[in-house]
Amino acid sequence: MGDISEDIIKRAAAGDMEAFEQIYRSFSGLVYNAAFRITGNREDAREITQDVFMTVYQKLNSFRFQSSLKTWIYRVAVNLSINRARKMSRESGRSVKFDDGRNYRASAYGEQPQVLQATQEDAQALLKVLNEDQRACITLRSIQGLSYEEITETLKININTVRSRIKRAREKLMAFQKEVAKNEL
């Protein structure tokens, strides 16, 4: 998937719904997947995806082409996802989480087919071990495939901070896996 042309961005910023729909179709799956990996919740990821594109629609005319549109949209998605995850972790002691146990099939939000459900659940369980900042960095690097420089630009943090968060996240994941393996014996 390539980035969207400047002409399409300008048309969408001017209110052209077909151009905006092209932006949505190009990036909604990536936004949903990033939101899901960071929050660990499908409903939250869907809501965040909607919120991201509402924000993009409202602020597209302020996009200055200093980064790629993909990076700009990622930044919005990650920030909203981290904020939602933090809010949920603050509220987690006050509510009970409901999971209806359904396996969702692929959708416009970019969810994977049901066959990969077990792998997704395993990955999501591992990601929950990390704090929101580590989860965002490891998601963008290992799952979304962004470079360290792209993560730096997306999160607006220093490249050494990105490296540090990814290193600590990997160390925490390895320690968690060792602990799980030890307990299974």
Q: How far is CA 9 from CA 20, 25, 50, 68, 72, in A?
A: 8, 13, 18, 11, 12
CA 40 to chain centre: 10
Q: What is the DSSP string of 160-180?
A: HHHHHHHHHHHHHHHHHHHHH
Q: Is 155 part of a structural domain of the chain?
A: yes
Instruction: Write the DSSP symbol of residue 100.
Output: -
CATH code where residue 167 lies: 1.10.1740.10
Whether the CB-CB separation of 172 and 129 falls below 8 Å is answered with yes
Least confident range from 4-13, 103-112, 122-131, 157-166: namely: 103-112
pLDDT at residue 105 tops 70: no
Euclidean distance between CA atoms 85 and 109, whole angstroms: 19
pLDDT at residue 151 tops 60: yes
What is the mean pLDDT of the segment spanning 59-80? Answer: 90
Mean pLDDT, the chain, rounded, equals 80
pLDDT at residue 154 tops 60: yes
Q: Is 106 part of a structural domain of the chain?
A: no
Q: By residue range, what is the domain housing residue 68? A: 6-92+116-184
Euclidean distance between CA atoms 73 and 43, whole angstroms: 20
Contacts with 174 (C-beta within 8 Å, 6 or more apart), sequence order = none
Contacts with 150 (C-beta within 8 Å, 6 or more apart), sequence order = 71, 74, 140
- Specify the number of domains making up the chain: 1
What is the mean pLDDT of the segment spanning 133-140? Answer: 88
pTM over 0.85: no
Q: Is 144 part of a structural domain of the chain?
A: yes
Q: Is 139 part of a structural domain of the chain?
A: yes
What pLDDT was estimated at residue 109? 46
What pLDDT was estimated at residue 9? 93
- Structure tokens given for 43: 């409903």
Question: pLDDT by residue (tens digit) across 5-53?
Answer: 999 999 999 999 999 999 999 999 999 999 998 888 899 999 999 999 9
What pLDDT was estimated at residue 107? 43
- Structure tokens given for 48: 């965040």
Work out the pLDDT band at 91, boundaries 50, 70, 90: low
